[in-house]
Amino acid sequence: MSAANNINFKSVARSLTVVENNLPGADELLKSLHYNKSTPIIGITGPPGAGKSTLVNSLIEQLVNKGNKIAVLAIDPTSPFNFGSLLGDRIRMTGHFNNPDVFIRSLATRGSLGGLSAKTIEMADVLRAVGFDYVLIETVGVGQSEIEIAGLADLTFVVLVPESGDEIQNIKSGLMEIADAFIINKADRADADLFTNNLKKIIHQKETTEIPVFKTVATTGAGINEVADFISSAKNIKNTRKEFLLTEKAYKLIQQKRMEGVDKKKLQQDIAKALNDERFNLYSFVEAFKI
C-alpha cells in the first residue's frame, strides 16, 4: 500500500480547519504542500435528489474494498439568510465514520454562488498532499453552476435519475462539457432504459469521443462496482486538461484573495442601513463600498 497507511486523521482534520477558517499559519501550510503521489480528485455532481450522497457512500465501500484510502469532501449549501449550513451529507455516510481507510469532511459553501466552497480547492490539495488514493468531492447540485467542478476535478461524474427529463436541456447547455461519465442512479425506476438511451443519443450527437453512461441503484449497490472499476482504470490516464484545471484553480484563488476583506454579514447590515435612504441606488452603493 501507499504511504497513506500512515495518515494521522487528527492532524489532517486540524490542517483542514486551519485552511478552511484561514487561521494563522494557513498560507505557510499551503505553500509547503508537496505531492508524493498522483491522487486523482473525483467530482460527483448533479441536480438535487439524484442520490449523490448515497452513491458516494456506496462508492467509498467499493474503492476501500479494492485496497484504497479515500477522502471525501461533502459540500453543503449555506443559507443566504442566516449563513448557517446543515452539513447533513455525512448522515448518509455514517457507516464509514470509524473506518481507518476513510476520512470524511463536510464544509459549507459560505455564500459562494456556485456548487463549490471558496476553500474547496485548498482543502482538496491538503488531502492530496497527505497521500490518499482518491479524493471524492460531492457538490451541492445547484444547477448550471455545477460546471465549477470542472475547474477542480480530474474526473467528473454527472449524476441523473430517470425522471430527470428536464435535465436533458441542462446537459445540452453545459453539463455535457464537464462530464467524463454519466451515472443514471435509481435505475430500477420506470423509464430508466428509455432515459439512458436518449442520453446516449445526445452524447453521440454532440461528442466525438464516447462518454460512458453507467446505471446504478446506490441503495442496493447495483452497478457501483462498474463505476469503481472505471475510476481505477482512469487513474493512469494522463489528464489532458491540466492547464485548464490549474487556470481555473488560480482564478478562484486570486478571486478569493481579492475578496478577503468583504464580510458578507457586515455587507448585509450596511445594505439594511442604506435602505433607510429612499434614494438608495445599488450601483452607487457598490461604487462607494470600501473593503
pLDDT value, residue 79: 44
Residue 36 in domain = yes
Nearest to 59 by CA among 234, 230, 195, 193: 230
Task: Provide the number of structural domains found in the chain.
Answer: 1
Domain that holds residue 28: 3-240
Residue 268 in domain = no
Residue 92 in domain = yes
Task: Kindly list the distances between the CA atom of residue 217 and the CA atoms of 179, 195, 255, in Å, as whole numbers in the listed order.
Answer: 20, 15, 39
CA angle 265, 121, 57 (to 5 degrees): 100
Beta bridge partners of 88: none
Asked if 148 and 115 count as a contact pair (C-beta separation under 8 A), the reply is yes
Residue 267 in domain = no
260 confidence band (pLDDT: 50, 70, 90)? confident
Average pLDDT over residues 12-19: 96
pLDDT value, residue 2: 40
pLDDT value, residue 1: 35
CATH (domain of 164): 3.40.50.300
Residue 215 in domain = yes
Please give the residue that has the higher pLDDT: either 216 or 259: 216
Q: 201: which residues sit within 8 A by CB, 6+ positions away?
A: none
pLDDT value, residue 62: 94
| Range of weakest confidence among 155-169, 206-220, 272-286 | 155-169
| Average pLDDT of the chain to the nearest whole number | 81
Q: What's the Rg (C-alpha) of the chain?
A: 20
Residue 273 in domain = no
Residue 251 in domain = no
Residue 270 in domain = no
Rounded to whole angstroms, the Cα distance separating 162 from 28 reads 47
Q: Assign residue 257 a region: left if phi > 0, alpha if psi is -120 to 50, beta otherwise? A: alpha
- Scanning the structure block, which residue is given the C-alpha cell 454532440? 206
pLDDT (tens digit, 9 = 90+) per residue, 133-188? 999 999 866 554 556 676 788 898 999 998 866 556 656 556 667 788 999 999 99
Residue 82 reports pLDDT greater than 70: no
